[in-house]
Structure 1
């Protein structure tokens, strides 16, 4: 029985029709595909200008044949009651409703009409199929958060059952918890791992300490797919070594769709079938392939709620090898609000600090994970989980490296903790600015 498809259908999502529609899009030749994209862009604008009062007010200056006249929507625009943002004919009762994680600092409730959500799932299923994963039959080892209240907890467990997956909590990353995880892999025939990057990295480190290759005890495992947090190259190498399967990087946004997915040629292939992705500069101009800027995305199918030229809050680069038919995400730099401001006025991506620190303190395996917070222009604190306290020499090396890469006069404090605080969803934010 195709339980996953069945669960979607029961909730009003026409997944069979969506799969057929997506297959037709994917079969188009280059010329027809270009026509399809232009038609969908114009269709979605015209629809919302006619049927959505929120968008009508926002898009007063739009010239239909001039895409550059279409305003960029930010999360701040969307922080008003969902009822005020829905198109005519849609209510909170006949749409798919959810809430963003708030990792950008601007959480909001969003809506998708049911056809749009069906197309989202068709796209996800299509990409996972590159690695032999079928949501109806493939068993998933899921590393995500889970609500701790009784109602929310059991709701997620029921969803997990219908989705043929077993969920491991990301809130306990102790060796005791990982031993139970390993025991589950011994007794369950998992086909793939899916979840947040940081807890899966910690599991790989545990396997390394125990000298275990996961496929030796779970030979059914085909692939590991990580999402929602930065994936560093050395962590990817570690996971592939300890799991014995390819590690695939996924980039998505719950309010949109799957945005990019690593293909079998190690390219981060952008979803250009249900989305239209652009890279813009600070003034809103479209940047050529190869240049770094804001990631701005249009949902081509969401009629319930306009997400047109929507700034997702991330900075990235599309590869020079990109085409309209096959855009490639060359680099995802991080969130636009993850920026450190230094005493001189210089700005640096928050992940710069993370890269520097990571290269110094993770080499010997003592520190399992850490986060960095900026408390003042010249004051940073590194909170870390470790078997042993860092030596004064190690702390001095990190401070010196930060000054060398950035600028002198930076004060760095260190705090060893038992566990790092994660968001309610289970994500770990590597850099936080408190300025």
Structure 2
């Protein structure tokens, strides 16, 4: 049951905050909380109606799409449902960069400049308006409330984005304090800082955690190593996002913090695409985002088949994301969740295309097949695997003893060759720490080989 303070924040202070920022978040969230219980057919019909209006607006007011529709000989009324989106080309980072000004609507309101962290190798600069932000915040808010927590409940956020960390002015600090949200920067995770973060969590006794799975996994490992009890603090849920959540991370976080892990999938560019409910369903933000799963040739795939996620965000009429290639690999489900929500689900999220590696014989393997080799070695503290080419893979290793010895090196080389091929050159570098990406995220496997 929510405390009186939480009720004041969620029903009065946060709505006022959103209204002052000219966001329509509260109204949208209420609509989403009603629509989530509709049956699949009704939801699809509503999505199609909204898609039609979105395409009509974009074709009229966005120069890039006005020209594109004319060139293709496609009319806005030709796009009647998600199945018709194949009549339009994909949008990718290079296209957005090359047509940046032409992608801005001629009736757009104030737009803010954003960028992705570039963890996939290519940062993206784009624009967000109040319409998009309102829908994204409302989607996240709806999913938060599935777990019996709300804005105003005590929260610890472990984040590494320079955008968030660069905005810690007095107004931001005051707002976070008012909403009882405390930010811990997910950079330079030294033993001393990890212990300090654990102490902060213990003293705060938050209702929820939010941040990168790699950071909370690291905190959980540190707590275990130092016999620090963290499962008696009353934490209800750990929301993780922005990185692939590995099964072993989920198990570790849940065991140490004594709470379920709720996976969230999305990005600053594509929006909040899917959220996990307490029954385990990875529900799409279906009212706001059209999701397609496509094969390497760009053909739509049916539920049950693995392919790239392509999104059309219906809240982006001011700077449209239509058939935007995320570079992420997933499988769509055709099942109904036990929670009773009509929202479609992703069956699995398999990571970025760069999380897959290619063996010497051309076999495509998930990076997890390499991760388990090093994760199961007691002598390894941390690691990073980079597939430079099909012929060469480089491994950085932090050894618990301080130095990678010959036995460790042989075990790693033998294990990776068994997956990638005996002829592959495996180099092992002993390092004192694994640096995070510029965004603050940690990536355990990176492949520079095109798996498409």
Runs (4 or more) in structure 1 with deviation over 6 Å come to none
Q: How many residues align?
A: 426
Match in the other structure for 2:353: 336
What is the aligned partner in structure 2 of residue 77 from structure 1?
Answer: 95
Query: 1:32 deviation in Å?
Result: 2.7
CA distance in 2 between counterparts of 1:85 and 1:326 reads 30
Where structure 2 has 5 or more consecutive residues not aligned to the other structure, the ranges are: 1-7
Residue 43 of structure 2 is aligned with which of 33, 40, 60?
A: 33
> Could you tell me which residue of structure 1 aligns to residue 395 of structure 2?
382
Q: Output aligned runs, 1:102-251, within 5 Å.
A: 102-135=118-151, 137-145=152-160, 147=162, 152-154=167-169, 157=173, 160-161=176-177, 163-216=179-232, 218-219=233-234, 221-251=235-265
Correspondence 1:401 to 2:408: no
Per-residue deviation, 1:224: 0.7
Q: Distance in 2 between matches of 1:112 and 1:151?
A: 18
Q: TM-score, normalised by structure 1?
A: 0.89
SS class of match (1:214): coil
Aligned equivalent of 2:328: 314
Q: Does 1:368 align with 2:393?
A: no
Per-residue deviation at 1:243?
0.4
What secondary structure sits across from 1:296 in the alignment? strand
* Secondary structure of 1:424 counterpart: coil
The question of whether the paired residues in 2 share the 8 Å contact of 1:111 and 1:255 is answered with no
Partner Cα distance (2:34, 2:177) in 1:
31
Distance 1:148 1:17 in 2: 27
Does the 8 A contact of 1:7 with 1:162 survive in 2? no
Indicate conservation of the 8 Å contact 1:318/1:328, yes or no: yes
* 1:141/1:192 contact within 8 Å kept: yes
- Residues 100 and 255 of structure 1 are in contact (CA less than 8 Å); yes or no, is this contact kept in structure 2? yes
- Alpha-carbon RMSD across the aligned residues, in angstroms, is 2.6
Question: Once the 2 structures are TM-superposed, how far is the Cα of residue 206 of structure 1 from its aligned partner?
Answer: 0.7
Q: Of 50, 57, 62, which aligns to 1:52?
A: 62
Whole-Å Cα distance in 2 between the matches of residues 384 and 159 of structure 1? 41
Change beyond 3 A, Cα 1:315–1:39: same
Offset of 1:427 from its aligned partner? 0.8
1-side partners of 2:286 and 2:276: how far apart?
14
Q: Map 1:92-107 to 2 at 5 A.
A: 94-107=110-123
Which residue number corresponds to residue 326 of structure 1? 343
2:140 match: secondary structure: helix
1:222-256 residue CA offsets vs partner (Å, 9 max, x unmatched): 11111111222122111111101111111111123
Residue 152 of structure 1 deviates from its aligned partner by 4.2
Does the aligned pair in 2 maintain the 1:100–1:254 contact within 8 Å? yes
Structure 1 residue aligned with 2:23: 13
Change over 3 Å in CA distance of 1:385–1:166 after alignment to 2: farther
Residues 260 and 31 of structure 1: CA distance in aligned 2, closer, same or farther (over 3 Å): closer
Residue 159 of structure 1: how far off its partner (Å): 5.6
The SS at the match of 1:131 is: coil
TM-score (norm. length: structure 2): 0.86
CA distance in 2, matches of 1:358, 1:372: 10
Provide the rounded CA distance (Å) in 2 between the counterparts of 1:274 and 1:368.
Answer: 42
CA displacement at 1:406 relative to structure 2: 2.5
- SS of the residue aligned with 2:33? helix
Judged with a 3 Å threshold, the aligned counterparts in structure 2 of structure 1 residues 233 and 189 are, in CA distance, closer, same or farther, namely same
Helix, strand or coil at the partner of 1:316: strand
Residue 42 of structure 1, CA deviation: 1.7
Deviation at 1:295, TM superposition (A): 0.5
Q: Does structure 1 conserve the Cα–Cα contact (< 8 Å) formed by 2:36 and 2:342?
A: no
Equivalents in 2 of 1:149, 1:275: separation in Å? 24
Helix, strand or coil at the partner of 1:79: helix
